[in-house]
């Protein structure tokens, strides 16, 4: 279903996936989860940026808070539980085709998280899950903006309040 609750976007004659050539931006979330100084990355299996490493995340569902969506997507993609430390920043991902038309458009609310439980393993939307030293990100095939997003997340983690905001561990 589309974020508005209808299946119209799936039935339109658009090239590629149902999210290609959108009429409006899609609202997504991601979370930079840290464990022992390393950040969790998942290899994308779908466009845009299929094959590149990214922060775990996905689309917000109707009626879901941004934090709840980030924690749900984290668990669905890589089977890890975390608590949200802080909002990090928003990321705009706009991809144009060779004719200049908008092929993909996402606005992503990115959060900072701290690992609670679960061993990272790929789910249905992640081809691989790895813990990486933030200093090594520049040498890895990653989605755009990831170095700046992780650097900001690391700063927020180091300045965090002592009490977690929200947890997906039951």
Q: Are 64 and 96 in contact (CB under 8 A)?
A: no
CA angle in degrees (0–180, nearest 5) for 2-122-79: 80
- Length, in residues, of the chain: 170
For the beta carbon of residue 166, count every other beta carbon within 10 angstroms.
15
Q: 61, 125, 128, 151: which one is catalytic?
A: 128
Residue 72 sits at φ, ψ, to 5 deg, of -65, -50
Cis peptide before 48 (omega within 30 of 0): yes
User: Is 128 a known active-site residue?
Assistant: yes
Q: Please list the active-site residues.
A: 128
């Amino acid at each position: 279903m589309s974020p508005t609750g209808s299946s119209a976007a799936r039935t339109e004659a658009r090239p590629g996936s149902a999210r290609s050539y959108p009429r409006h931006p899609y609202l997504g979330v991601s979370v930079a989860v840290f464990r022992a100084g390393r950040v969790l990355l998942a290899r994308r299996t779908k466009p845009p940026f299929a094959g590149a490493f990214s922060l775990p995340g996905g689309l917000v569902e109707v009626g879901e808070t941004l934090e709840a969506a980030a924690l749900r997507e984290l668990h669905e993609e890589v089977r890890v539980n975390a608590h949200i430390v802080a909002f990090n920043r928003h990321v705009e991902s706009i991809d144009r085709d060779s004719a200049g038309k908008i092929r993909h458009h996402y606005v992503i609310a990115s959060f900072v998280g701290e690992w609670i439980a679960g061993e990272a393993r790929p789910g249905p939307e992640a081809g691989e899950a790895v813990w990486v030293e933030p200093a090594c990100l520049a040498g890895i095939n990653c989605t755009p903006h990831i170095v700046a997003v992780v650097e900001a997340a690391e700063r927020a983690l180091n300045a965090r309040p002592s009490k977690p905001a929200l947890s997906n561990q039951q």
